[in-house]
Structures are given as structure tokens and as C-alpha cells.
Amino acid sequence: MKFNVLSLLLVLFLTIGCNKEQTKKTDIKAELIAGKDSLIFPEEVHFKSMRQITFGGDNAEAYWSFDDKQMIFQSNNKNWGVDCDQMFLMNIEESFKEKVPPMISTGKGRTTCAYFLPDNKSYVYGSTHLGGDECPPAPLRKNGRYVWPIYDSYDIFVSDLEGNITGQLTNEPGYDAEATVSPKGDKIVFTSTRSGDLELYTMNIDGSDVKQITNELGYDGGAFFSPDGTKLIFRSSRPKTPEEVKAYKDLLAQGLVEPTEMELYICNADGSDMRQLTSLGNANWSPFFHPSGKKILFSSNFEAERGFPFNLYMIDLDGKNLKRITHGETFDAFPVFSNDGKWLAFSSNRNNGGGRDTNLFIAEWQE
């Protein structure tokens, strides 16, 4: 679900290509420094080097194994034999310009939000396959408004890295998806409609001890734990006026949400000390903790006049010291740090030849 916003953005965005084709791993550090002919824009001072991983389709939500040796990401690349988002596995040194990564989801239904479990041999992800083998429709507009579908056929599953489902963690009626795992390896946070609204919940990694974290009307989702597992950062679209409340409830009754106005919220892992982190306007989303645990990276279009571009920003936990990290003219989102804090994976429209592809990149991070 966190990935669907790309569908509209890719229709809107014009893209600039910025880099010569990379062919040799040994050339990466020599060629990719901030400058005119680089994947890195001159203002992107936190990126020491960068490598492009995918070269076609929509690719996003790449999450690291606990040992930082592999990643799982979702893609709808037609050249890989899929009709909608499925999960793919990569070793960190790989890229996929001339080869296809192994698919490790079932190939049925639509999938979202895969996240490694601590053993590095299994992962959790959301899938609609119990609701049918076909890809469910993905409406983008309702009465002229941009919307995301909330499929009630989504449940959260455990799979090994060969694509064999070994467990099912949710079986409540309605939407259960957007699962991510605490760096401590003990808890999972996810979004569910089991209460009648889109709220955050936590559970043990075996699916036991489910606890509701949020309880205010609005879409709460895309949550991640802090590096020490004590806090949660997430996005929320919380309607305030009677008109906003009615519009939200009407869409939710149709299995839809409108994600164009979202702010970031932060709380303790048990839901206590809940507070709003940003008040920027427009869409602020895909947050992730900086390795220090003292800052948040996120994607936003709050500086945009026509809905784009989306760029990455960094902000302190007290809402101060907002800083722009990327400087593209189209779309940068889904920043995810490696567990050792040395690398940042994210999705971008950069270097796509002026087309609509959204690809994965891994940047070497420097403070």
C-alpha cells in the first residue's frame, strides 16, 4: 500500500537523466561523486557514492536483511513476468539491468511491504492471493480525487526465501498489511481495519499478543521502529472538519483512502506519548529513522505547487532542523538505512531516460 502513490506520480512527472551507464562495480566510487555527470545531484552532500539497482518498471520498498547482505523489494516490471507488484530477492552487490532477480512471492494476487525476519532466512509480507489469483484492480481516481485502494483481501504471511509460505500471521476480516519488524527482532507493527478504521497494531513475530497502538480517526500507516525498538514513526491523514470526516468515511466504506494530505506522527512503541512531528502540508510520508535514532528521513512534496516534485528531507525528533536531502525534479521516496547505517536505499525517477520508470538506488551515506 505504501507504494501505490507512484502510479499517479509517474503519469505527472517529467524526468531528467543524470548519469553514464555503470558497468563495473570497481568503477562505482571513482565515477559516482557529486557532480554534473553523476547519479548524485551536486546539492546531495550526504551521498558519497550511488549505485542503480533496477532499470525498468516500478520498484520500491527495498528492505535490508538483519545482516545487511540481502534486500527484498517489490516490482511490477513486466519484463520479469508479473502483472502487478510481487516480491523479489537480491544480494547487495547485484543489479538487474541484464538479468532478472528471483521472485519469492507466490506470483498470485498483489503483494506489498516485505520485511526480513531476524533469522535472515524468512520474511513477512502482505498479499491478496487468498482473495484470488488475479491482480486486484488499482483505481487511481474517484470523483476526480486521487485515491489508494485498501484491499480487504490483504493478510500478512511468513515465507522462506524460496517463496514457500510457512505461516499466516493475520486472519481478521479486512485489510492487514504494511508490516515492518523491529530492529530488536521481537515485534511487528502493521496497519489494519479490524476496528473499522485504519489503525496501527503491534504483535510478536509469531503473530501473538496483538495490541492496538493508534485509535484516532484517520489513516495511520507506513510505520517503522526506531533503531532501539522503543519508538514508532508513521504517516497519518487525520480528518478534522465535518466535511473531511465525511469524505474520509465515505471513501473508506468503498475500500479507498485519499493520501494527498498526510503528516508524520511519532510515539513510543506501546502507543504512549503520541505527538505530531510535522505540520508541513501536502503529503509527508515514507518516514524512516536515521541510524542515530535522533532524526527522521521522509519524502514530501510540501514545497511543490503542483503536487510534485517529491524529495527526501531530514528532521529532528522535536520537529526542528528540517533539511532537504535530495534535489530532484520528480520523485524520491522510500528511504531505508542499512542496519549498520552506512547505506541508504531509496526509490527515484532519476536516470530513467525521461520515461516513467521508478528504480532502486543504494547510496553510500556520509554525515
Residue 141 belongs to what domain range?
54-341
| Within-domain flag for 115 | yes
Asked whether the bond before 335 is cis by omega within 30 degrees of 0, the reply is: no
Number of folded domains in the chain? Answer: 1
Q: For position 210, which CATH number holds? A: 2.120.10.30
Instruction: With respect to residue 190, please indicate whether it lies within any of the assigned structural domains.
Output: yes
d(CA 157, CA 71): 18
Q: What is the DSSP letter of 103?
A: B
Helix locations, the chain, DSSP H: 5-12, 28-31, 242-253
Place of cell 500500500: 1
Supply the pLDDT for residue 2. Answer: 44
Identify the pLDDT of residue 1.
Answer: 52
Predicted pLDDT of residue 29: 38
> What tens digit of pLDDT does each residue of 114-137 get?
999 999 999 999 999 999 999 998
Q: pLDDT tens, 19-78?
A: 323 333 333 333 334 434 489 999 999 999 999 999 999 999 999 999 999 999 999 999
Extract the residue ranges of the chain whose pLDDT is less than 50.
Answer: 2-3, 5-37
Q: pTM of the predicted model, to two decimals?
A: 0.90
pLDDT for position 144: 74
How many residues in total does the chain contain? 367
- Asked, for residue 362, whether it belongs to a domain, the answer is no
* Residue 220 domain flag: yes
Give residue 346's pLDDT: 98
Instruction: Tell me what pLDDT residue 23 has.
Output: 31
Look at residue 112 and tell me if it is in a domain: yes
| Residue 74 pLDDT | 98
Residue 274 lies in a domain: yes
Q: Is residue 29 part of a domain?
A: no
d(CA 3, CA 7): 8
- The pLDDT, as a whole number, for residue 141 is 76
Q: Is residue 359 part of a domain?
A: no
